A and B are shown apart, each in its own frame.
Chain A
Amino acid sequence: MELSYMLSQMCHEALTDADINTIRKARGFPAKESLARTAFENFFLSNIGLQAVMASLSENEVMLLHLLHRVGDEVAIPFFSRAYGEAKDSTYFRPRTFTQQNKPIFDQVKQNLVRKGLLVMCEAKAYDDSVQMERWRFRFPPQFAQHLPALIRSPRRLEGKGEVRSDVSRRKLLEAVGGPAASSKMTTGQWQMAVKHGRLLIGDQPFSQEILAAWQRAAWELALEVIPPNLAGDKAAAAAYLSPPEAALLALRTLQPGEWASEEQLTAVLAMMSHGAKVSNPRLGHEGWMWGCLERKLDEAGKPFYRLPAAESANPDGAPPAPGEFLKLNPLGGAVNVDLRQIPFETLEQLNVLAKLEVILHNLLASADALKIGRAAPDVRQSPLAQWLDENAPAFHKNFEAIAANWGRTVVHTNLHVARVRDLSLRVQLERELGPDLQVLSDEFVAFPVALMPEVERMVKKAGYVVKTIHSSTIKKP
């Protein structure tokens, strides 16, 4: 359900007058102006009183709302059991109904969140035999997120940089040229680093920083020995579950510069965010640092604190190295030797796009490939890497020159409709109605996006003409 619909339903049907008064007071809406429910509905989404109300939330409730914001969708009552206690499904004498089990949770949600004006609730329409308690839905307005308190209460302030284990990802990269495995368990399948068919791949995906970071997070999770809850078939619960690394990263994102979180503070979010998971290794922060995902700093007492890696910490040497420091022209042939220990990852991504890569005697070589250069986006062909290759590697220079001479002069357009319009008044009408969505190609031909076909058909028929269609499959292939 759309948030606006839910809000309208809540303000006009779900809330009693007493509820509205309570919200009005909690949020500090002007009494007279918000008297009418329609006016109240407008005030609900405003920023009025949010900060004060958020400050009154418990730690668990703050985590709950952060998680709800992350889910980004409506949830049902069972979602809140992680904060307000598990529903008890039976008494000593007999099993309890859904309503009996969840009524206490519902009451707390309504009291602590809805009546503070933080949550929108309404009843989902259903034509089955579900009870009302099953049909309640709750949603956190995304515009409230900016007022959410940080997940880490009382973070530690520490000056200066910490340590980031950037060697971890670098070791992973070196697996491509036969280096030792960075992780004994995560070297095959989707995490195998290899050069195949001229490309550097992780699994079957082209190398990217994003996938490398995902590998690090997966290794981190493996190190924690996590047994995730069984959420098969429960889409809502699966959407509301974060793995411990994801939970830790979410918590750390709410820190301000100079703020750090302890191991205990990180672990505290797991109960809420990774609800139901069993974590055998409790050193969430430490393993995150070990796998290069977190920055660590020791305080005066030697206690470790963690945060997300800051840019200056990831590159302690300052500016990234110039291409000439990690690329060397190979004396034999026109290829370029690539030093995987030095090349920045972003540059390696670009090289993967521009050049044909191969491993020879544990060395990564990059050769000029006209096809790849031609397909590369302009910003990649104009990057410092490309400039260095152009200036220093004759084979690359030759290809860049040829591509530069031809690039932009030929375009192949696909996924659009081309029409021949032999009636001027019809063409004028199409131009007027479709505006920028119609491209005039010549006196008789026009082009327009595929999804506009029904609208175009309607206009053509209204003008009294018939749509003649020629499909490419009916044309004889050469």
Chain B
Amino acid sequence: MKPLSLSTTSTEGLVIVTNDRDVLADLFIYLDYVGSREIKRMVRNNQLPKGDSARIARLLGDSEMEQAAKDTGGAVWVDLLDELALHLGLVNYDTAGEYRGHSSVETSFQNNYVIVRQEEYEKFLKLSPLGQEQRILQVFLHKATHNEFYTSGVLGRLDPFSSWGSATGVMPSLDFPAVRQFLLQQLQQCKPGTWYSTQSLVAALKAEAPYFLIPQKIKAERWGKTAERYDNFYEGEDTWRHNDKPIAPDEPQAFERVEGRYIERFLEGLPLALRFVDVAYTTQPYQGLHPSRDQLRAFQVQERFLRLMRSEARPPKVTVQPNFDVVVESEIYPAHVMSQIKPLAERVSAPASGVGVSVITLQLKKNLVAAELVRKPDLDVVSLLKTLSGSDLPPNVLVELEEWSGHADRFTIYQDFGLLESVEPLPQVERYVEEHISPTLRLVILPERVTERLEHDALAPIVVKHQLIQFTPLPPGAISVFPKADAPKEDAAKAQAAPLHIKRQTTIKLTFPSEAAFTDFRQALADAHCVFHADVETRAILLAPAQMAVFESVAQQLASRYLVTLDDLS
């Protein structure tokens, strides 16, 4: 086929539509979200619940989308990601449903949870960014349920043909994946950044490949009848009337009225969604027959489209800056790079996408680095960043990272170990020792086996199972750093009375440190006919100043149990 001869055009007076959203980046945000929660799809229509759609939209950083999700119950971009993840095999959920009763006319989806398929996800993650984009492109190319004649693109604004009669005629036999592939190949002839006239594309195709969409020889239907070329296509005065005016193949501009409309709708579908093209629409109100035509007046291809189609892609560029920022520049969302950096850093800026390169800025954080090192003790953060950036790190970052790596080891808890304390060397249990804490203390595994062995050797170990909230005192005579039951006793009189410190406020509020003392004093004051207020929750007794003498008298009565000291609070 000869190269197409396309004319450039000006976009003056046209409204340009560019897609800022990166499907691949957004897909990972969607997967992170559904992977971290239990998302139950709606019972009747099997869609994502409104709340989840809104939350995903918020995570995508699009407040308009979030508001639309809240107002209408969903967002088309989120639905796109949802469907894309399913077609990529990255998530699983029931799509068939079941009829709940005899009179059900539609299936229902009970307890239908979105499950991330972890293995497939890992495989997808390991693909290069180019590979990931190409997988996504394949899904878009082969989406059989969508047909540009009848379904608008996710970002499209053109009205579709009526689908009346679409199961008959030429429509069932059209190979849309092949058509889309063909058109993408034609778009590769365009220069990036140059606006081309859609009409010129239509004219070029009419001249060079008039049967790119509907074959010249039309196959017979299953009933043996061969349809006319444009049997499925009708125009109408308005969008409601679907069968007013059929289009005959020999009518003037029949190609422009059918294939031409398709081309406009194709351009605002797959290529716009995947950021292959920008498009420009006329602002003039449409006057002709419906569905509308010649509204999408111009298009320009992106550089990233051409490189993707040539399977070229610049690798992501990672720069670690002296202020601990990690800047990731990539024309295709670098999921694998991000999965390595995200655990160590916080995102500072949302990806700024425009001409095709996304720039993501994150900042390394000490607590995140330390936490990741706890999770993966073998991780070498410095090496990782050097490898990703392809260069040495700034000296101050290097120093700090090495210090942060030590942070992961600042506090280590040993759970379910025993502590062996002995003045003897005990070589017979050395194989159970995990750490030598001091000459007399060892951290051991399997303390019950250690005990058995020591008993067997007639070493009579004392086994202490400490209480949950405090240490169990050891019996007298035990050689141990832990508290023993025979703590030194003072003389008998003092030993019976427990030191008691009472906080006294200027309002003569007496707060007791223990429930027992509070109860005893409260009862004793009542017995002494003292008037006071008792606050059970704060264990406080409030007295009038005149009652202090009564309190002091009560304190005397209880002196054999409590040595009262009043601590005045300022």
Interface residues of A (CB under 8 A from B): 4-5, 8, 30, 33, 38-39, 41-48, 143, 370-371, 373-375, 377-378, 399, 402-403, 406-423, 426, 436-437, 439-442, 444-445, 447, 449-453, 460, 464-473, 475, 477-478
The answer to whether B443 has its CB under 8 Å from any CB of chain A is yes
The answer to whether B116 has its CB under 8 Å from any CB of chain A is no
Contact B482 A421 (CB under 8 A): no
CA distance A408 to B478 in the complex (A): 4
Given A43-B526, A403-B460, A413-B370 contact (CB < 8 Å): no
Q: Pull 5 A–B residue pairs with CB atoms less than 8 Å apart, ordered by A.
A: A370-B458, A374-B459, A408-B475, A412-B420, A465-B407
Q: Which of B408, B461, B470, B475 contacts A410 (CB under 8 A)? A: B461
Contact A8 B465 (CB under 8 A): no
Q: Which of B469, B480, B523 contacts A451 (CB under 8 A)? A: B469
Given A439-B481, A442-B437, A471-B421 contact (CB < 8 Å): no
Q: A residues within 8 A CB of B451? A: 412
Name which residue of chain A comes closest to B542, CB basis.
A38
Given A442-B438, A464-B367, A466-B367, A472-B409 contact (CB < 8 Å): no
CA distance A399 to B431 in the complex (A): 28
Contact B412 A409 (CB under 8 A): no
In the complex, what's the smallest C-beta–C-beta distance from A27 to chain B, in angstroms? Answer: 11
Given A48-B526, A378-B477, A412-B447 contact (CB < 8 Å): yes
CA distance A193 to B259 in the complex (A): 101
CA distance A44 to B454 in the complex (A): 59
Q: B residues within 8 A CB of A440? A: 481
- Which of B371, B476, B525, B530 has most chain A Cβ within 10 Å? B530
Q: Which of B408, B413, B527 contacts A470 (CB under 8 A)? A: B413
One digit per residue, 1 when the CB lies within 8 angstroms of any chain A CB and 0 when it does not, for chain B 439-450 equals 001011111001
Q: A residues within 8 A CB of B418? A: 412-414
Contact B464 A413 (CB under 8 A): yes
CA distance A410 to B458 in the complex (A): 11
Q: Which of B414, B470, B478, B529 contacts A472 (CB under 8 A)? A: B414
Nearest 8 pairs between A and B by C-beta? A46-B526, A374-B460, A478-B431, A413-B419, A410-B422, A472-B416, A451-B468, A466-B370
Given A48-B527, A436-B483, A439-B482, A413-B468 contact (CB < 8 Å): no
Contact A421 B410 (CB under 8 A): yes
Q: Which one of B124-132, B324-332, B339-347, B531-539 is at the A interface?
A: B531-539
Name which residue of chain A comes closest to B525, CB basis.
A42
Contact B459 A477 (CB under 8 A): no
CA distance A45 to B437 in the complex (A): 54
Contact A437 B471 (CB under 8 A): yes
Name which residue of chain B comes closest to A439, CB basis.
B482
Q: A residues within 8 A CB of B426? A: 410
Q: B residues within 8 A CB of A469? A: 374, 412-413, 415
- Which of A413, A451, A452, A460 has most chain B Cβ within 10 Å? A413
Given A402-B458, A408-B477, A417-B413 contact (CB < 8 Å): yes
Prevailing SS type, chain A contact patch:
mixed
CA distance A419 to B410 in the complex (A): 10
CA distance A406 to B412 in the complex (A): 33
The answer to whether B417 has its CB under 8 Å from any CB of chain A is yes
Q: A residues within 8 A CB of B458? A: 370, 374, 399, 402-403, 406
Given A46-B526, A437-B471, A466-B371, A475-B460 contact (CB < 8 Å): no
CA distance A42 to B526 in the complex (A): 6
CA distance A382 to B466 in the complex (A): 24
Q: B residues within 8 A CB of A403? A: 458, 460
Q: A residues within 8 A CB of B529? A: 30, 33, 48
Contact B462 A412 (CB under 8 A): yes
CA distance A465 to B370 in the complex (A): 8
- Which of A5, A44, A440, A468 has most chain B Cβ within 10 Å? A468
Contact B474 A449 (CB under 8 A): no
492-538 of chain B: CB within 8 A of chain A: 519, 522-523, 525-527, 529-534, 536
Q: B residues within 8 A CB of A8? A: 536
Q: B residues within 8 A CB of A471? A: 415-416
Given A42-B522, A47-B527, A470-B412, A409-B423 contact (CB < 8 Å): yes
Q: B residues within 8 A CB of A143? A: 519, 523
CA distance A114 to B373 in the complex (A): 65
Task: With A407-B477, A411-B463, A466-B370 given, name 10 new contacts (CB 8 A).
Answer: A370-B455, A403-B458, A406-B460, A412-B421, A414-B447, A436-B471, A436-B483, A447-B419, A449-B466, A465-B411
Contact A39 B531 (CB under 8 A): yes
CA distance A75 to B527 in the complex (A): 27
Q: A residues within 8 A CB of B459? A: 374, 406, 409-410
Given A410-B461, A414-B447, A39-B532 contact (CB < 8 Å): yes
Q: B residues within 8 A CB of A418? A: 413-414, 417, 419, 437, 443
CA distance A465 to B525 in the complex (A): 50
Q: Which of A47, A374, A452 contacts B523 (CB under 8 A)? A: A47
Contact B464 A411 (CB under 8 A): yes
Q: B residues within 8 A CB of A473? A: 416
Name which residue of chain A comes closest to B369, CB basis.
A466
Q: Which of A30, A46, A452 contacts B469 (CB under 8 A)? A: A452
CA distance A416 to B470 in the complex (A): 9
Contact A472 B417 (CB under 8 A): yes
Contact A449 B421 (CB under 8 A): no
In the complex, what's the smallest C-beta–C-beta distance from B498 to chain A, in angstroms? Answer: 15
Given A412-B447, A439-B482, A38-B533 contact (CB < 8 Å): yes
Name which residue of chain A comes closest to B431, CB basis.
A478
Q: Which of B408, B477, B522, B530 contacts A468 (CB under 8 A)? A: B408
Name which residue of chain B comes closest to A419, CB basis.
B413
Q: B residues within 8 A CB of A47? A: 523, 527
Q: Which of A39, A373, A468 contacts B409 (CB under 8 A)? A: A468
Contact A413 B411 (CB under 8 A): no
Name which residue of chain B comes closest to A464, CB basis.
B367
420-438 of chain B: CB within 8 A of chain A: 420-424, 426, 431-432, 434-435, 437-438
Contact B460 A449 (CB under 8 A): no
The answer to whether B467 has its CB under 8 Å from any CB of chain A is yes
The answer to whether B366 has its CB under 8 Å from any CB of chain A is yes
Q: A residues within 8 A CB of B533? A: 38-39, 42
In the complex, what's the smallest C-beta–C-beta distance from A24 to chain B, in angstroms? Answer: 13
The answer to whether B479 has its CB under 8 Å from any CB of chain A is yes
Name which residue of chain B comes closest to A2, CB basis.
B536
Name which residue of chain A comes closest to B536, CB basis.
A4
In the complex, what's the smallest C-beta–C-beta distance from A162 to chain B, in angstroms? Answer: 37
Name which residue of chain A comes closest to B532, CB basis.
A42
Q: A residues within 8 A CB of B536? A: 4-5, 8
Contact B522 A410 (CB under 8 A): no
Q: Which of A45, A373, A449, A464 contacts B470 (CB under 8 A)? A: A449
166-204 of chain B: CB within 8 A of chain A: none
In the complex, what's the smallest C-beta–C-beta distance from B346 to chain A, in angstroms? Answer: 15
Q: Which of A48, A377, A402, A409 contacts B422 (CB under 8 A)? A: A409
Q: A residues within 8 A CB of B412? A: 419-420, 468-470
In the complex, what's the smallest C-beta–C-beta distance from B405 to chain A, in angstroms? Answer: 11
Q: A residues within 8 A CB of B424? A: 409-410
In the complex, what's the smallest C-beta–C-beta distance from B113 to chain A, in angstroms? Answer: 31
Contact B420 A426 (CB under 8 A): no
In the complex, what's the smallest C-beta–C-beta distance from B558 to chain A, in angstroms? Answer: 14
In the complex, what's the smallest C-beta–C-beta distance from B479 to chain A, in angstroms? Answer: 5
Given A402-B458, A439-B481, A464-B415 contact (CB < 8 Å): no
Q: A residues within 8 A CB of B454? A: 410, 412
CA distance A414 to B419 in the complex (A): 7
Name which residue of chain B comes closest to A461, CB basis.
B367
Q: B residues within 8 A CB of A470? A: 412-415
In the complex, what's the smallest C-beta–C-beta distance from B420 to chain A, in angstroms? Answer: 6
Q: B residues within 8 A CB of A30? A: 529
Q: B residues within 8 A CB of A472? A: 414-417, 434, 445-446
Q: B residues within 8 A CB of A450? A: 466, 468
Q: B residues within 8 A CB of A411? A: 420-422, 461-464, 474, 478-480, 482
